[in-house]
């Protein structure tokens, strides 16, 4: 296994422009597990003033992807194939925390589960739960090549 996987995960997270734009932080990464949180801001809301499902989903997806990525060799890249998320309660609170874990780790495909909690007055309430399929792409760098970067922007 790759001894530098924690650094790889942290560097990849910092390259995700969306995570910075949402103000999300990578709280913890362990083998097969990842935790991401984001504080409340008006820029993150849906029409009632709660966190938008897009924010809940974005941190659940990144946490699931990095939980899976932590178990991949260094020359692999991580790709979300699909996910399903149930929004079980309004995401109302000061902060959202997504906790993801690998449920089944195949060579090519990994299945992850994530729970998202809304923190309000210090108490955590489950507001969403997801199930994801993540793919390991062998021989593809996790960073954009200069060519790829240009083409991605186009």
Q: Are 83 and 62 in contact (CB under 8 A)?
A: no
Query: What six digits make up the tokens of 42?
Result: 């008006």
Collect all residues with Cβ–Cβ distance below 8 Å to 29 and sequence separation of at least 6. Answer: 6, 9, 10, 35, 66, 67, 70
By the rule CB under 8 A, 43 interacts with a copy of itself: yes
By the rule CB under 8 A, 42 interacts with a copy of itself: yes
Least distance (Å) between residue 104 CB and a copy of itself: 4
Q: Kindly write out the interface string for residues 12-31 of this chain, putting x where it contacts a copy of itself by CB under 8 A and - elsewhere.
A: xx-xxxxxxxx---------
By the rule CB under 8 A, 6 interacts with a copy of itself: no
Q: Considering CB under 8 A, how many residues would be counted as binding a copy of itself?
A: 70
By the rule CB under 8 A, 104 interacts with a copy of itself: yes
By the rule CB under 8 A, 92 interacts with a copy of itself: yes
By the rule CB under 8 A, 95 interacts with a copy of itself: no
Chosen residue from 4, 10, 74, 94 binding a copy of itself by CB under 8 A: 94
Query: What six digits make up the tokens of 95?
Result: 């902060």
DSSP states along 40-104: --GGGB-TTSSBPHHHHHHHHHHHHHHHHHTTS-TTEEEEEEEEEEEE-S---SSEEEEEEEEEE
Q: Kindly write out the interface string for residues 48-87 of this chain, putting x where it contacts a copy of itself by CB under 8 A and - elsewhere.
A: xxx-xxxx-xxx-xx--------------x-xxxxxxxxx
**13 in helix, strand or coil?**
helix
CA torsion 104-132-12-138 (nearest 10°) is: 60
Binding site for a copy of itself (CB under 8 A): 12-13, 15-22, 40-50, 52-55, 57-59, 61-62, 77, 79-90, 92-94, 103-104, 106, 108-109, 111, 113, 120-121, 126, 129-131, 133, 135, 142-144, 148-149, 151-154
């Amino acid at each position: 296994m790759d001894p530098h996987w924690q650094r790889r995960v942290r560097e990849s997270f910092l390259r995700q422009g969306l995570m910075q734009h949402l103000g999300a932080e990578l709280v913890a990464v362990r083998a097969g597990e990842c935790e991401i949180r984001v504080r409340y801001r008006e820029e993150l809301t849906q029409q009632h003033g709660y966190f938008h499902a897009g924010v809940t989903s974005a941190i659940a997806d990144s946490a699931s992807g990095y939980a899976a990525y932590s178990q991949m060799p260094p020359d692999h890249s991580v790709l979300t194939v699909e996910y399903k998320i149930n929004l079980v309660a309004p995401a109302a609170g000061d902060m959202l925390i997504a906790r993801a874990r690998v449920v089944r780790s195949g060579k090519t495909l990994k299945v992850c589960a994530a729970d998202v909690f809304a923190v309000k007055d210090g108490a955590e309430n489950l507001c969403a739960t997801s199930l994801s399929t993540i793919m390991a792409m062998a021989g593809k760098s996790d960073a954009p090549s200069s060519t790829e970067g240009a083409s991605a922007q186009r």
